[in-house]
Every structure is written in C-alpha cells, then in structure tokens.
Amino acid sequence: MKRLALAVALAVLAALPLWAGGTFYINIGSQILLYAVFALGINILVGYAGLVSLGHAGLLGIAAYTAARLLNGGYGHIAAVTAALALTLAAAALFATLALRGSGSGIGFVMITLAIGQIVWGVAYRWISITNGDNGISVSSRPSPLGLSLAAPAHFYWATLVVFLVALGSIAMLVASPFGASLRGTRDQPRRMAALGYHVWMIRFLAFILSGFWSGVAGLLFLYYNQFVSPQAVALTASAEALLMVIAGGSGTLLGPVVGAGLVVVMKNVASAYIERWNFVLGAIFVAIVVFMPEGLVPGAARLWRRATARPAAPAVAAVPAPGEGPAQ
Amino acid sequence: MIEPATALSVRGLTKSFGGLLVTASVDLTVEAGERRLIIGPNGAGKTTLFNLVTGELRPDGGTVTLFGRDITRIPGWHRTHLGISRTYQIITLFSRETLLRNVTLSLLGRSPLRWNPVARLERQTALMGRAREALARVGLGHLAERPLSQTSYGERRRVEIAMALAQAPRILLLDEPFAGLSIEERRDVLQLVTRIPRDVTIVMIEHDMDVALDFAERITVLHFGHVVVEGTRGEVVAHPRTREIYLGE
C-alpha cells in the first residue's frame, strides 16, 4: 500500500513536464522542488533539533554567490559547485559555532542566526566589488551533467527532481537512524541527553552543518534556475519565508517542508496572477493553519483523516493523541 | 586491572548560587560496592551534590575523583562513559516515546552507534534486545511498546532505574527514587534496588529517612550544604545532631 503510493507519487512527479501543460507550470514545479530542498534542510534544525534559525537564506546566498562569481570568473561548473558547497559548509560551521554558544538553544539561537543572516545580506547589498550590490550577478549558462543540457525547463525540472529525491531520501534515512534519534532526544531533553552520555553540542553542530549543506545545494539550484542572484535571495524575508514553509507544512515531519514549499510557491506564482493582494491571502492561510492545525498541514491532515476514518463507536481513540502524532515524528 | 577500593571521592567540594552556599566544602568517600544513603531536609544540597558529581554543574572549588581518576574538569556527558549513571528526582523522560525507545536512547548514549546517520535504528536487534532485557529487569517488559505518557508515575520511576541500569554503570546515583510512590510501589522499587549486584556502587539520596534506612550500610547527613554526620546506620540514627535536625523536628 505504502510502496504503491510512493511509486504513484514518483511517477506523477517524474511525468510532470508531460502533464503540467506548459513551461510556466514546469518551472513552478522546479521552484517547488528547489525550495523543498531548502525547507528540508532547515527542518533538520527546526524540526528535529528544535533550533529555530532565521539566517539560513544567508547560507543559500553564500552558495549561490560563490558559484556565480566563480562561473563568471571562468571556472567550470564542477569547480564552481564544489567550491560553493565547501565555502557554505565552512560558513555553516562558523555560524553554528557562534549560534551554539551559551545554552545553545532558545531565543539566543534565533537572534544570533538572525544577526548572521543580516550580515550576509549586508555584504551582498553593500560590498559591491564582490557582489555587484543591488544589481546582483547573472550567470550565462546552466551545467550539462553527463552531457545532458539543463537549459530546457523540463530537463532542469528532472535534474532538480533527482536532487530533491536524494535530499528527501537521505533525510528520511537520517530520521530513522540512531543519530536521528539522538538529535530528537537533544530537542526534547537536552539535559537528560547529556546525562545519558550524549555530546549535545556536537550533535547540534553536526545537524547545523547538514542543514547548511542542503541550504547550499538549494542555493545552487536557485542560482541555476534563475541564472541570477541578488541580495533579495539573502534577505531576512527569504529566511522567514522558508521557515514558514517548514512550520506551515509541519516541522519535524518528513513531508511537511515539501508541502509548505508547494503552498508558498504556488501562492506566489499562481494566486498572484489572479489576486493582486496575494501576500495578504498567504498571510491569512498561515493564520488559518496556526489556528486550526498548529502542528502543520501534514500532521494536521493526518489527524483529521484518522478522525474521519475512525469508527464512530470508538470516540475515545480520536480523543487520545496517537503515538507519534505531532512534531514527535 | 585491579579496581581501586574507592569508587567516589569528593574533596572540599564547594558551590554557591549567588550568595547562597549550597555545597560547603563537602568531603565524601564511597567505597567500591558500597550502598550509601545521603539524607537531609529539603534544601540541604543533596541534588546539587549529585549535579556536581555528574558534571551538570561546575563546582566553585574542590575535586571529584572516580575510581582514582580526577574527573573535576571532565564534561558531564563524558563522565557517563566513565561509569556514572543517575536517576532524577523530577522525572525527565521522553514522554512522547515508548518505554522501549526511552531505554534504547539510554543504551545508545554509551554506544558509538549513536553517531550513525545511515543505519536503521529499528533494525539494531542486539540493541533492542538489550533494551527489552533492561525493561524486563524492572518488571516492565510487557509495556515496552507503550508510550511513556500512558504509564503511571510508579512505572516511570522504574523506567528511570531501567535506563540507568541499562548503561551498566560502575556507580549509580539515585535521586529520591521513592518520591511520590505508594507503599507497594516503594517496596517494589526497594526490592529492585536491593537486587542490583555489588559490582555497582550505589549512592542514594532520600528525603524520607525511614524508607531507605535498611538499604544503606553508611549514611551521610547533609544540612545547609554541610556534612553534619556520617557513619553506620546505628551511629547516625543515635547521633544527637541527626535527631536535632532530622528526626526530632
């Protein structure tokens, strides 16, 4: 049953360029997937480590800017991508070291990631000799992995789909692994975890690095998709939007960030064509989610589904939260 | 390797919170295999002493030595790997997880497997088997799959002990293991603790002296952060200071 659903979902996703009906929708598919990779990365920290970051657009931006600079400097795609990821990982290590000082969680973590994100934005905006300031940097070509050009929207979509599936698969593996259990333990009971012999700081640090890695990958997809990067990509609103994707979809769940990314991208691109004040609609949707499904769309829908399918003779089952419900996943 | 005769040695241990001296130059020596009871009224600094020994708090002064090794500067998580395990007075378990998962986390804490990001935890049959064993040891084998939030207070106390024992500690610190339990539950827990083999040294904090009196060979009385009396059961009970601050009220 589960395997069948997975196979159907995969087939539908892979065939999207055939049924979506036009370049516009294929590109929306690519955008959803690239933001899903970003949101999945943030979810490692927010959902599984319980550390809320407001600076991850900075990491996305570092990857995108580094690759853009190197590509324009005449380096090949492999060199640019490798260097961009390496620099993003180094930056993530530095950010983690700063943000995990002191108690390493709570409001201090949020504020430090926010400040770091703003510093990156400041560099993107003001250090014109490196970042070209407000004008941003354009890159002329997309890569051709294994000789397949990604210039066409459908080809780029498939490449993004592959990256997305690798991200989703590896994070699913992480969540089910002993390290995933350790990570969730430090979210729920950090003090207890330390007493049980876990190096809480190191576990959080590694989660930050991993989260930074997928943010960097998303940054590269972002750059190649738009063939352009500007300070807007690094701004606080970009970090906040990605965080909202995670929370709206369901933080600490595997598919929540994906659904959240879909929601935001669709609202941005599709609804904005019909409703001028689409931002207002998106805001209203977020409020509705927080009021009616505070755990997020994915766990919330699962809860409603269970309630709807539970036999009316056993109302007590619906009243008691089932094991694993909510962000514990 | 010959086991040093002294399991835990605390010298001149001092800690204050602001102006309040909670641990006042405490000296304490616990022999290997000993059963030690630490008693004292509320606020005597018993739990703080445990927190200093396990490394959850940093002392202002003094040393902690574990089986001949000075561990004063070793971080708390590492001390667990040197053989210290503890239970908590206020239960701090993973309430959303099953009992099995709680004990598994405890076992993982001492296993290098905890860093593994690619293995499937569910498939670690050896680990799961040991977790079930640890639960069976405290009489909770049949509740392994139950979420902790659906268990009774007494059962949670036993999960605490199962988690501590699962780590195969050399020294076990029990912080008021009888707190909040009914008379039958206390008897069960006491039996459980009494059955622990002698290769585990046990230090127990208890607020209520009557419950655990039979358990200990030596008793230390703490009062306002000071060691007031220390000796055998008979000596401590007969001591006028004990009666004054504890029994006499």
Rounded mean pLDDT, A139-157: 85
Q: How high is the pLDDT of residue A328? A: 41
Measured between beta carbons, which residues in chain B are less than 8 angstroms from residue A183? none
From the CA of A210, how many Å to the nearest CA of chain B? 11
Please, which residues have CB within 8 angstroms of residue B144's CB and are 6 or more apart in sequence?
B98, B99, B100, B131, B132, B135
Question: Which chain A residues are Cβ-neighbours of B77 within 8 angstroms?
Answer: 193-195, 197-200
How far is Cα A39 from Cα A13, in angstroms, rounded to an integer? 18
For position A311, what pLDDT does the model report? 61
pLDDT of residue B58: 92
- Please report residues of A whose CB lies closer than 8 A to that of B118: 173-174, 177
Chain A residues close to B56, C-beta within 8 Å: 191, 194-195
Which phi and psi (to 5°) does residue B26 adopt? -80, 130
Contacts of A328 in chain B (CB under 8 A): 96-97
| Residue A19 confidence (pLDDT) | 87
B249, pLDDT greater than 60: no
CA–CA min distance B249, chain A (Å): 35
Partner-chain contact B105 A180, CB within 8 Å: no
CA-closest candidate to residue A244, choices A272, A279, A206, A218? A279
Q: Which domains does chain A have, with CATH numbers?
A: 22-328 (1.10.3470)
Mean pLDDT of A8-19: 88
What is the separation of C-alpha A252 from the centre of its chain, rounded to a whole number of angstroms?
Answer: 12
Q: Give the predicted TM-score (pTM) of the model.
A: 0.89
- A192:B93 CB<8 A: yes
pLDDT digits (tens, 9 = 90+) for A46-64: 999 999 999 999 999 999 9
Q: Which residues of B touch A (CB under 8 A)?
A: 54, 56, 75-78, 80-81, 86, 88, 92-94, 96-98, 101, 104-106, 108-111, 113-122, 124, 147, 163, 167
pLDDT at A143 over 90: no
| Banded model confidence at residue B89, pLDDT cuts 50, 70, 90 | confident
Interface ipTM > 0.85:
yes
SS (H, E, C) chain B: CCCCCEEEEEEEEEEEECCEEEEEEEEEEEECCCEEEEECCCCCCHHHHHHHHHCCCCCCEEEEEECCEECCCCCHHHHHHCCEEECCCCCCCCCCCEHHHHHHHHHHHCCHHHHCCCCCHHHCHHHHHHHHHHHHHCCCHHHCCCEHHHCCHHHHHHHHHHHHHHCCCCEEEEECCCCCCCHHHHHHHHHHHHCCCCCCEEEEEECCHHHHCCCCCEEEEEECCEEEEEEEHHHHHHCHHHHHHHHCC
Q: Does A319 touch chain B (CB under 8 A)?
A: no
Q: Flag the least confident range among A9-13, A14-18, B2-6, B229-233.
A: B2-6
* Mean pLDDT (whole number) for B82-93: 89
B105 contacts A182? CB cut-off 8 A: yes
Instruction: Check if A195 contacts B (Cβ < 8 Å).
Output: yes
**pLDDT (tens digit, 9 = 90+) per residue, A170-220?**
999 999 999 999 999 999 999 999 999 999 999 999 999 999 999 999 999
Contact across the interface for B77 and A185, Cβ inside 8 Å: no
In this predicted structure, the answer to whether residue A313 has a pLDDT above a threshold of 70 is no
Of A177, A192, A198, the CB nearest to B116: A177
Q: Pick from B105, B110, B117: which is nearest to A174 by CB?
A: B117
Interface of A with B in 219-248 (CB under 8 A): none
In chain B the domains, ranked by start, together with CATH numbers, are 1-83+169-249 (3.40.50.300), 95-167 (no CATH)
CA distances from A72 to A80, A91, A138, A230 (A): 10, 22, 8, 15
